């Protein structure tokens, strides 16, 4: 990045870069924030190493990129509604984010991004994968692109929250399962246009996308399954190995990601903020 105070080092051919030369706990100047945002747009997910970030500084850094998003399915389960602590204990049968997904896409205006900070990590295991959905779209045939162009899909949170999902019995990070919980459903285009870059991308994910508008789930399944698996072909991905003090900041509008459930006998504690977004177009 020319004339920048930060150093950007790509970590894979398709997605992901580490940013060096910046301490995000400080009150960064506008130019540095612009450079970080540009790196995010260029690489879809950016990473920082060796950061020391308490919850208030974590939130302050996140607010430089937008208003903080309050996750509806963690309300009342966390001490601070603007922050989600994600804890994995040995023996957990499930973990947060173990399917390929974009975050919280069941809402009408999904978050534009998330900033995840590593508080305690295992000596090995617990990596996170990211997948570039620009490339997922661009690799489709012209005929498939034309067919998908007018399609919309339903996104629901029934698999990840509420009494029927029964997540709390299987993992340490709790989600709403109370009797007042109600499913949230929104429709989004299958092919979206990124609001800042103007590039087209594939916008479906395992955790939230159920079926296409105007079709049943059974009718939707063959095509939807293909698109879901196509979106994380290895050549579209990068893999990030966490260290204590690491940060991942991903563009939720164009990334899918997956937490690998392989930490065995080790605890893993992360802290996440989300940044408000806009309607998917």
* CA neighbor of 118 nearest in space, from 246, 239, 22, 20: 246
pTM of the full structure: 0.97
pLDDT for res 75: 86
From CA 104, how far away is CA 110, in angstroms rounded? Answer: 6
Q: Is residue 240 part of a domain?
A: yes
Q: Is residue 1 part of a domain?
A: no
> Which residues carry out catalysis?
101, 103, 257, 272
Overall number of domains in the chain = 1
Contact 18, 9 (CB under 8 A): yes
Structure tokens at 206: 């395992």
CA 147 to chain centroid, in Å, comes to 27
Q: Is residue 2 part of a domain?
A: no
Q: What mean pLDDT do residues 39-66 have?
A: 98
From CA 124, how far away is CA 176, in angstroms rounded? Answer: 30
If one counts every other C-beta atom within 10 angstroms of the C-beta of residue 63, the result is 13
> DSSP state, 25?
T
Q: Is residue 281 part of a domain?
A: no
- pLDDT per position as a tens digit, 137-182: 999 999 999 999 999 999 999 999 999 999 999 999 999 999 999 9
pLDDT for res 197: 98
- φ/ψ of 46, rounded to 5, equals -125, 150
Q: Is residue 230 part of a domain?
A: yes
49 sits in the region (left: phi over 0; alpha: psi -120 to 50; else beta) called beta
If one counts every other C-beta atom within 10 angstroms of the C-beta of residue 201, the result is 21
204: CB partners within 8 A, 6+ apart = 153, 190, 224, 227, 228, 231
Q: Is residue 217 part of a domain?
A: yes
Q: Is the pLDDT of residue 2 over 70?
A: no
pLDDT for res 5: 81
Distances (CA, A) of 266 to 18, 97, 149, 205, 243: 26, 17, 45, 28, 14
Query: pLDDT over 90 for what percent of the chain?
Result: 98
Q: What domain range is 217 assigned to?
A: 7-275
Contact 223, 12 (CB under 8 A): no
pLDDT for res 3: 53
Q: What is the mean pLDDT of the chain?
A: 97
Q: Is residue 27 part of a domain?
A: yes
Q: Is residue 175 part of a domain?
A: yes
From CA 106, how far away is CA 153, in angstroms rounded? Answer: 10
CATH number at residue 108: 3.60.130.10
16 sits in the region (left: phi over 0; alpha: psi -120 to 50; else beta) called left
């Amino acid at each position: 990045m020319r004339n920048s105070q930060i150093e950007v080092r790509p970590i894979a051919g398709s997605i992901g870069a580490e940013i060096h030369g910046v301490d995000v706990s400080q009150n960064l100047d506008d130019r540095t924030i612009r450079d970080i945002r540009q790196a995010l747009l260029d690489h879809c997910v950016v990473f920082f190493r060796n950061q020391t970030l308490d919850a208030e500084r974590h939130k302050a850094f996140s607010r430089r990129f937008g208003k903080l998003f309050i996750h509806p399915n963690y309300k009342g389960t966390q001490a601070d509604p603007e922050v989600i602590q994600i804890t994995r204990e040995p023996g957990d049968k499930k973990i947060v984010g173990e399917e390929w997904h974009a975050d919280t896409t069941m809402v009408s205006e999904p978050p534009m991004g998330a900033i995840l900070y590593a508080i305690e990590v295992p000596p090995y295991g617990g990596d996170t994968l990211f997948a570039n959905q620009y490339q997922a779209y661009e690799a489709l045939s012209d005929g498939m692109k034309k067919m998908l162009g007018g399609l919309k899909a339903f996104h629901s949170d029934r698999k990840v929250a509420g009494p029927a999902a029964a997540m709390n019995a299987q993992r340490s990070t709790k989600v709403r399962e109370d009797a007042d919980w109600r499913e949230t459903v929104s429709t989004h285009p299958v092919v979206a246009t990124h609001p800042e870059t103007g590039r087209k991308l594939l916008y479906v994910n395992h955790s939230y996308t159920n079926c296409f508008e105007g079709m049943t789930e059974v009718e939707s399944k063959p095509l939807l399954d293909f698109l879901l698996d196509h979106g994380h072909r290895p050549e579209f991905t990068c893999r990030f190995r966490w260290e204590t003090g690491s940060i991942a900041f991903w563009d939720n509008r164009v990334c899918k990601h997956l937490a690998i459930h392989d930490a065995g006998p080790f605890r893993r504690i992360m802290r996440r903020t989300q940044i408000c977004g806009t309607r998917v177009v």
